[in-house]
Structure 1
Amino acid sequence: MTETADIVVVGGGCIGASIALHLAEKGVGKVILLEQKELAHGASGKGIGIIRTHYTHPVLAKLAQQSQQLFHQFAERFGGYDAGFNPCGYFVLVGEADVATLTQVVQMHQQMGIEVQLTDAQQVKAVCGELLDLSDVAAVAYEPNSGYGSPPKTTVALAKRAMDLGAEVRTQTPVLEIKLDVEGRVEAVVTPNGEIKTRTVVDCVGPWARQFAEHLGLEFPVTPIVEHVVVVERPTERAAFHPVISDLINLCYLRSDGEQAYTRIGNSDPKYHAQFALQKADEFHGQLFPHICEELHRKLIRRCPGLATVPVVETYSGIWGVTPDYQPIIDRLNYAPGLYCAVGFSGHGYKLSPIIGDLVSRLILGRVNDQVEMLNLFRYSRFQENDWIKSPFSYAQAQGLR
């Protein structure tokens, strides 16, 4: 007997799990989420999990604001499950070259109703003590409602809630092929266990986007990029928990852990991405590029000289799917009617996942409103049209990452 589904979501990261959940909430019928390995195996598995609203593009800022609100309400909104969200606050540090940009971005956010304020090094010191060297900081923005969460925990929470509402979640079930009928419409997905007949497939495979759609003749400009994190243990005198720090001078970001005196540092310098690009996401096996870990450690010491002698307890890597303009591809793909995609989030996916799940589910069901129409910014065809997403403001070095 041939298995059927109303909608098949492919990819068990936070985006796929969120879309499956919101579809199940809307009672669309039989929803199946397929993941090739385990939940949060890809980009959602090793993300540092920062949740912020600080974006130079107003649409991204609005989506981040709405998603952040959902993180604050996560357990209440999503069946009592925990996303590991810690609203510890978020500081953005800039040098002289970026003071005007920071001021403009903050003003834009305030007009949108985002809670953010310009402040100075004294407030950072009041919160962080003497942890940071702020001698080169010319301006600071502070988001009190931002912080960090756990991408793996969030992914599992969303998937469990989807199952509570009737969706099926199948791990260790790769999609080998999307079959089209004679008219070019989606007809089925092929797995090692057989075909699942369906007229609607949602591609949420993240860094695997390019290779996943090759057999359909679709060219997704999504490059798998290896990203690195260095973890140090703070000494007793600096063991106090600190907020998230976005350092747009040294092009890195820091966050502490809630349960132990660890600080994690990640890269926000786009110049490294070409060096860490893979031909296929299947080539990723947790490899490290030693010189970037050493550079991240140097950046940490530059910003936090008091941590110069503390031990490095871990270095690890994850994987992003990055597009040429560092923005996702979210669309209904008319090339193969019935196929939708939400891929290439370029490091933004986790923080946006709660709202993206809702909006993509509405797009699929034809429940278009002003919110759903915002997704047109992220259409697949923008790359063929040479209409890349451009922000009205740009930081001197961080560029598309903000």
Structure 2
Amino acid sequence: MSRMVEADVLVVGGGGAGCSAALHLAKRGARVVLLERGLVGGQASGVNHGGVRQQGRNPAELPLARRSRAIWARMADLIGTDAEFDPSGHLKLARSAAEEAELLRWNAIAEQHGLRPRMVGRNAIRAEHPWLGEQVIAGSLLEEDGSANPRLLAPALAAAARKAGATILEGHAVAEMAHDGTRFRVTANDTGFVAPVLLNCAGFWGAAVAARFGERAPIEALHPNMLVTEPLPHFCRLNIGVVGGDVYLRQISRGNVILGGGRGEGDPAVPMSRPRPDSGAAAMEKAVRLIPRLADALIIRSWTGIDGLTPDVLPVMGPSRTTPGLFHAFGFSGHGFMLGPAVGEVLSELVLDGHSDVPLDAFDIGRFAPRADAATGRGTE
């Protein structure tokens, strides 16, 4: 080991959450070092659809999503760019009576969180959006939602964090990690890093970080399959989703339609990922059923990355159950891009203030710990 670097907080993982945490901590005077194996935003935070949506989220995520939406509104002031954020509205579509009922159920919950989704019924949906196919029978529009460019967010957060005084180290894969009872000791690129606080923002690999400190978090690799078409005549500014989430799309200012659906494949040990042609074809077929004018659109590129999917499709976020000074934020299950800015801010509050007003109980890593069965005393999952 060539040298030792001391910090107040070490951050492992340079996605949106990790870079946002580094920024918010540095702005409050903390000495922060962020370690990223590849490039910031190189995995889940940079390869997703770019949805900035509260629409359709699990109710447990809505307070965090509300906090993040407020940050998106002032993103340009915070980091010098809005990352092409466009509050175009998010229209979630129903293709059956059961899906229509699900929209109504979620809308009622959303209103309890201060959101105002507008139900678009069977008569109005095609009148308002004549480019929709006959498969669509209803929709829910949340006008304050929208989209942004995922390639821009994490690098801009990292640049702002550096400007605020944080050290952002790309190309630094963590080789060793331990807690000596007082401080964390991490080795990367033959350099030692020491700090009393460690933020685990390592995406899919966050479960492996947690395991080093005796905490279980079941996770699988998620490779969202993404496509983009040639530029097309403009027909839609909205971000489009469906109940069930099996296809989603948006048209950008240049006319290209970005759409996603299905899964690619990969190996997180390398790490390597690549899109699957069969998943892309299936996603395109679903998109054409939603919007028939896409039938002749030429696909010009496809891609994927690596995210972490938890069994309940909720992230792991909050303090460790085993190790003081360790905080988790990983496993965002394909919908963490929009949340990243608020996740970082909340982590900074947990570290520096000891609390946050955003409810985190549903994200506690302890939900995966074996528990004793009351009747038999045997461990259950």
The two structures share one fold, judged by TM-score above 0.5: yes
Shift of 1:203: 0.8
Q: Give the equivalent residue in structure 1 for 2:268.
A: 281
CA distance in 1, matches of 2:37, 2:245: 37
CA distance in 2, matches of 1:358, 1:132: 39
Shift of 1:277: 6.7
Q: Amino acid of the residue matched to residue 160 of structure 2?
A: R
Structure 1 residues 36 and 71, CA gap change in structure 2 (3 angstroms)? same
Range 226-235 or range 376-385, more displaced? 226-235
Structure 1 residues 212 and 56, CA gap change in structure 2 (3 angstroms)? closer
Q: Give the equivalent residue in structure 1 for 2:196.
A: 199
Residues matched between the structures, number: 369
What secondary structure is seen at the aligned counterpart in 1 of 2:173?
Answer: coil
Alignment of 1:1-400 (within 5 A): 2-28=4-30, 30-76=31-77, 78-94=78-94, 95-120=96-121, 124-125=125-126, 128=129, 130-133=130-133, 135-181=134-180, 183=181, 185-233=182-230, 235-236=232-233, 239-248=234-243, 251-258=246-253, 260-267=254-261, 281-371=268-358, 374-384=359-369
Structure-2-length-normalised TM-score: 0.89
Structure 1 residues 179 and 262, CA gap change in structure 2 (3 angstroms)? same
Ranges in structure 1 where 5+ consecutive residues have no aligned partner: 387-402
CA distance in 2, matches of 1:83, 1:324: 31
Quick check: 2:65–2:338 contact (8 Å CA) kept in 1?
A: yes
Shift of 1:211: 3.5
Quick check: 2:265–2:274 contact (8 Å CA) kept in 1?
A: no
CA distance in 2, matches of 1:179, 1:15: 22
Quick check: 1:89–1:244 contact (8 Å CA) kept in 2?
A: yes
Quick check: 1:232–1:264 contact (8 Å CA) kept in 2?
A: yes
Structure-1-length-normalised TM-score: 0.85
CA distance in 2, matches of 1:168, 1:358: 17
What secondary structure is seen at the aligned counterpart in 1 of 2:136?
Answer: coil
Deviation digits for residues 246-274 of structure 1, max 9, x if unmatched? 1227831111112x11112112xxxx66x
CA distance in 1, matches of 2:89, 2:124: 12
Deviation digits for residues 43-100 of structure 1, max 9, x if unmatched? 1121111011123533312221221121122112x04333221111110111201222
Structure 1 residues 41 and 369, CA gap change in structure 2 (3 angstroms)? closer
Structure 1 residues 116 and 167, CA gap change in structure 2 (3 angstroms)? same
Shift of 1:343: 0.5
Structure 1 residues 266 and 68, CA gap change in structure 2 (3 angstroms)? same
**Identity percentage of aligned residues:** 28
Quick check: 1:93–1:249 contact (8 Å CA) kept in 2?
A: no
Q: Amino acid of the residue matched to residue 178 of structure 2?
A: K
Quick check: 1:178–1:186 contact (8 Å CA) kept in 2?
A: no
What secondary structure is seen at the aligned counterpart in 2 of 1:210?
Answer: helix
Structure 1 residues 86 and 159, CA gap change in structure 2 (3 angstroms)? same
Shift of 1:341: 1.1
Quick check: 1:327–1:346 contact (8 Å CA) kept in 2?
A: yes
Ranges in structure 2 where 5+ consecutive residues have no aligned partner: 372-381
Deviation digits for residues 329-368 of structure 1, max 9, x if unmatched? 0121132222211000001211111211111111122432
What secondary structure is seen at the aligned counterpart in 1 of 2:308?
Answer: strand
Quick check: 2:265–2:276 contact (8 Å CA) kept in 1?
A: no
Shift of 1:13: 0.6
What secondary structure is seen at the aligned counterpart in 1 of 2:284?
Answer: helix
Range 348-357 or range 207-216, more displaced? 207-216
CA distance in 2, matches of 1:155, 1:206: 13
